[in-house]
Structure 1
Amino acid sequence: LSMVNVSDGEVLGDLLRSLRRNVDRVTGDGAYDTRDCYDEIAAKGAVARIPPRENAQYWEKGHPRNSAIILMHQFGLKNWKEKSGYHERSLAETGVYRFKQLTDDQLTSRTFNSQHTEVMVINTMNRLGMPEYQ
């Protein structure tokens, strides 16, 4: 949950730094295709699964984003998504969609602090139904 004037990519670092567990990959849409996001993901020791923008240019030699651009140019976006595992992102999107269908498509609280509390409750409820992976 963030204010309307804050982009997803701007808060990624705060989200990752607050995690106490290891992260092996971070999957996000094109909004996360920024140097700051890649830096935060690398600092966590994770692999970025972010589709480069259509007009993406190569970054410095050896940057992981460059291989995503190369694969996308060679095989197309659809094949890149399959090969990189990006399609797993849809599982999270589906979970949020299902929860919205059960409750409502919007939060009922009007103030930011109350919305934060409401989202914390929603997250707790979502975790109760999640499978444990080994």
Structure 2
Amino acid sequence: MSSSGHTPMRTPLGRVRGLGSAHSGTEHFFLQRVTALANLLLMIAFVGIVICLAGSTYEHARSVIGNPLVAVVLLLTLLSVSIHMRLGMQVVIEDYVHTEGTKVLLIIANTFFTTAIALAGAFAIIKISVGG
């Protein structure tokens, strides 16, 4: 029994899983931390690539991005940053937008925006890496 005198409606398993009203609280929190760690590691490689390309010619930059290892690092960075960005903006929207309809529309727009950014970036990296 809770302090207010009524029995909680959630099962013990629901309380352990940490699922809130959206049924994804712990998973969302965990994924945000995993992408943050991935971003940290991938950004080290990304900054290294940018430093190596600083001051180089366009042809040299294309050849470096054409390297499969470099292209994969760039694609993984783009994927991880995009997921992390979507999750972070979703938290901001959920915390600061109080009108339910507006909140839903903004979360949908956030998902479409981050997906579009990720796809556009992936297209550019793949196009450059295959020599298109």
> Normalising by structure 2, what TM-score?
0.29
* Higher RCO (C-alpha under 8 Å, 6+ residues apart): 2
> Normalising by structure 1, what TM-score?
0.29
Structure number with higher helix proportion: 2
Give the number of the structure whose alpha-carbon radius of gyration is greater.
2
